[in-house]
Structure 1
Amino acid sequence: MGKDALGKALIVANSAENLMCYNQILRRTFKTKNSPTFDSTLDLLDDFEPDVIIIDEIIFKSSALEISQAIRSDTVAKHYQGIVIIAEPKTPDLENLKRESGADYVIRQSHVNDILEMIALSALRVKDLENTSQALITKLAMTKEMVKELEGQDSITRLYNLPYINLLLEKEFVRTIRFNAPLSAVIISIDQFIQISHTEGPKVCIKIIQQLGEVLKNEFRDDDKLGRSWGGEFVGILPETDHEGAMILARRIKNMVAERQYGPEENKRTITISQGIGSFNPMRPVISDIHDLLLEAESNLSEAKKIGVNLICYQKNTA
């Protein structure tokens, strides 16, 4: 059988007629190999690693009893699903042969078709169970990932929520310290958001937040992290980015936001944003943890809003 084989079957027989019969049944389910002697059978145990071994009772210069005993005495051979001995017509006591050989089945030639068909069917059932089990495991893993992802999502924008952003920032800060790299955070706030909320209502505000989230997401790099904290505020984490790199991104975002209109189709408007930047420099570690980093970004955002709208602030310098 080809690539869809469910297992491997080693057939030990000297008769061409028997080989043809056994192969015809087993090849529907198993990949098969033939062995004519005791020595070649033992060699194939390691090379072929069969799951099932079919042995004629009489083999050239050997016997199924001898081969089966040799296999069962090998601790490496524990994984074999079954050894089947096809007994000679003159063998009187099949149970005794089974007991002495350690085989799983000892059968007459007249029962070969039934037993081998049963083995093939059992292999199919085992494979079905494995596939079903694997499908359930995969589905469970996907469900867990989906739940985990949803727990960290903001329900309006599908960006990260604030608790998850804080968790990501903690991990990123540890990595930053380890690799002695810069790290920046930017807090982005829609100007006059409270007034918009009071005059236009929540429906318009939600639409603006969703649309702005999409614009921001497109401007951030793959390694950056973006989330929504509350109201009209967003938080961005910028790994391996100093304050100059953060300013470049903030200016690009500022221009991009100003070029678009936001809100429902019947009530579009332009908006502006204010941004505050916090930056960790490993050469001058004034900031000692993520709280200091966010505090600096929040302080700079407050400074920008005091001065006016559509401004970026870092260390009291605005742009």
Structure 2
Amino acid sequence: MDMNEAATILVVDDDADTVATISTWLKGKGFRVITAATGAEALALAGEERPQVALLDVRLPDISGIEVARKLQAHERTSGIALVFVTGRRESRVRSECFEAGAEDFVTKPFDFIEVETRLRAVLRKKDLRDELQRANRALRQANKALKKLLITDEKTKLHNYRFFKERIVEEFKRASRYGNPLSCIMIDLDHFKEINDTLGHHIGDRVLEEFGRILTDQARETDLVVRYGGEEFIVLLPHTDARRAMTVAERIRRATSSRTFTADEAPLKLTVSCGVATYPTNPEIRDEEDLVRTADEALYAAKHAGRNRTEADPASLQETRTRKSPVRRRKRAGEA
């Protein structure tokens, strides 16, 4: 609360003389005062005005002040109101119920106005500190959320990065293994990308990566995980998807890329990609997430070896039965564009 702003106090009591007396005193001390004579009236007024503090008489004509406190605490809009109970009864049972209902403090009739003011200001200081702490916690949660997103997002393409992929593929592989659902992986490589960086400059290469990231996002399905794996390599992880359907997605990506004219400084730029597909558990040699990625990488090597701008699937991943054919030759990265 702004220190220059008068705190609003909701006084809830069915005794008109008590309300008039306490209201006059509090207004004279710089507080803004609103009043209610019943629990229902107090609940409605609290929702509209959202006072900083409610002075609640335990005895009210409709529902008890304790029940009013519970209802205030139960609603997000009024749960931040500090509660101070006022009563002429000193029984420990009543005090206990008041505090259990969310009371910050407890005063008794007849009033010692100096004591009431002192207690109210102490409650307001505690509320200000609590509110400040809550604001700081919200800001910290937002900052942590932003930091987490930053840590799992590739800067150039705004796709998920390798860090996020390593976490998710473990989860997806365990899920596929538990329920026997197919899990496919598409490994994608931009053909001759090194030549773009070498001849046109890295700023053009970065622009190509960004545009290709948008192609992947547009062509993949909502349930697919799209990742920049590193350099000019990308991965699409497809839960509940067999190799043939994964091939369809890969071909859609390949055709969209080859038909796209990318942005360059001086002349139109055309680009192609090669894709490799592997699927668990169709290929029985794929025993963990690393096998899945490696097998997709081997299929990608086969696509590049066959002339690029094409999609190849691991043969064993395409089998209708679990009979394994010879795997695609393992990719040798050295010297590949």
Which TM-score band (shorter chain)? 0.7 to 0.9
Tell me how far 1:250 sits from its aligned partner: 1.0
Q: Is the 8 A contact 2:277 2:312 kept in 1?
A: yes
Q: Is the 8 A contact 1:9 1:54 kept in 2?
A: no
Return closer, same or farther for 1:115/1:223 CA change in 2, 3 Å cut-off: farther
- Tell me the residue number matched to 2:69: 49
- Tell me the residue number matched to 2:79: none
The residue correspondences of 1:269-308 to structure 2 (distance < 5 A) are 269-281=269-281, 285-308=284-307
Q: Is the 8 A contact 2:95 2:106 kept in 1?
A: no
- Per-residue Cα deviation, 1:39-79 (whole angstroms, up to 9, x for no partner): x79x7254233832223xxxxxxxx3xx2124466467455
* TM-score, scaled to structure 1: 0.74
Tell me how far 1:32 sits from its aligned partner: 5.5
Q: Is the 8 A contact 1:29 1:120 kept in 2?
A: no
Relative to structure 2, which stretch is displaced further, 161-170 or 210-219? 161-170
- Per-residue Cα deviation, 1:97-124 (whole angstroms, up to 9, x for no partner): xxxxxxxxx62xxxx2x54444444444
Using the alignment, how far apart are the partners of 2:93 and 2:11 within structure 1? Answer: 14
Which amino acid is the alignment partner of residue 106 of structure 2?
A: I
- Tell me the residue number matched to 1:149: 149
Tell me how far 1:171 sits from its aligned partner: 1.2
- Per-residue Cα deviation, 1:163-207 (whole angstroms, up to 9, x for no partner): 331221111111222232111110111112223333223222221
Q: Taking CA–CA contacts closer than 8 Å with sequence separation of 6 or more, which of the two structures ends up with the larger relative contact order?
A: 1
Tell me how far 1:232 sits from its aligned partner: 1.4
- Tell me the residue number matched to 1:208: 208
Q: In the alignment, is residue 69 of structure 1 matched against residue 67 of structure 2?
A: no
Using the alignment, how far apart are the partners of 2:221 and 2:18 within structure 1? Answer: 67
Tell me how far 1:231 sits from its aligned partner: 2.2
Q: Is the 8 A contact 1:10 1:35 kept in 2?
A: no
Q: Is the 8 A contact 1:7 1:123 kept in 2?
A: no
Tell me how far 1:36 sits from its aligned partner: 5.9
Q: Is the 8 A contact 1:216 1:253 kept in 2?
A: yes
Which amino acid is the alignment partner of residue 54 of structure 1?
A: V
Using the alignment, how far apart are the partners of 1:226 and 1:183 within structure 2? Answer: 14
The SS at the match of 1:49 is helix
Say which structure is richer in helix. 1
Tell me how far 1:128 sits from its aligned partner: 2.7
The residue correspondences of 1:8-23 to structure 2 (distance < 5 A) are 11=13, 16-22=16-22
Using the alignment, how far apart are the partners of 2:135 and 2:99 within structure 1? Answer: 29
Tell me how far 1:244 sits from its aligned partner: 1.7
The SS at the match of 2:266 is helix
Q: In the alignment, is residue 195 of structure 1 matched against residue 215 of structure 2?
A: no
- Tell me the residue number matched to 2:128: 128
Which amino acid is the alignment partner of residue 83 of structure 1?
A: F
- Tell me the residue number matched to 2:231: 231
The SS at the match of 2:229 is strand
The SS at the match of 1:81 is strand
Which amino acid is the alignment partner of residue 247 of structure 1?
A: M
Which amino acid is the alignment partner of residue 137 of structure 1?
A: N
Which amino acid is the alignment partner of residue 44 of structure 1?
A: S
- Greater Cα radius of gyration, structure 1 or 2: 1
Tell me how far 1:278 sits from its aligned partner: 1.1
The SS at the match of 2:134 is helix
The SS at the match of 2:269 is coil
Q: In the alignment, is residue 82 of structure 1 matched against residue 113 of structure 2?
A: no
Which amino acid is the alignment partner of residue 166 of structure 1?
A: K
Return closer, same or farther for 1:23/1:34 CA change in 2, 3 Å cut-off: farther
Gaps of 5+ in 2: 1-6, 27-32, 35-50, 71-82, 319-327, 329-337
Q: Is the 8 A contact 2:157 2:213 kept in 1?
A: yes
Tell me how far 1:18 sits from its aligned partner: 1.9
Which amino acid is the alignment partner of residue 81 of structure 1?
A: E
Q: Is the 8 A contact 1:6 1:124 kept in 2?
A: no
Tell me how far 1:261 sits from its aligned partner: 1.3
Return closer, same or farther for 1:7/1:77 CA change in 2, 3 Å cut-off: farther
Tell me how far 1:239 sits from its aligned partner: 1.2
- Tell me the residue number matched to 2:37: none
Q: Is the 8 A contact 1:10 1:53 kept in 2?
A: no
Q: In the alignment, is residue 314 of structure 1 matched against residue 337 of structure 2?
A: no
Which amino acid is the alignment partner of residue 69 of structure 1?
A: E
Q: Is the 8 A contact 2:104 2:123 kept in 1?
A: no
Using the alignment, how far apart are the partners of 1:310 and 1:159 within structure 2? Answer: 22
Q: Is the 8 A contact 1:273 1:310 kept in 2?
A: yes
Return closer, same or farther for 1:302/1:80 CA change in 2, 3 Å cut-off: same
Q: Tell me the C-alpha RMSD between the 2 structures.
A: 3.2
The SS at the match of 1:54 is strand
- Tell me the residue number matched to 1:59: none
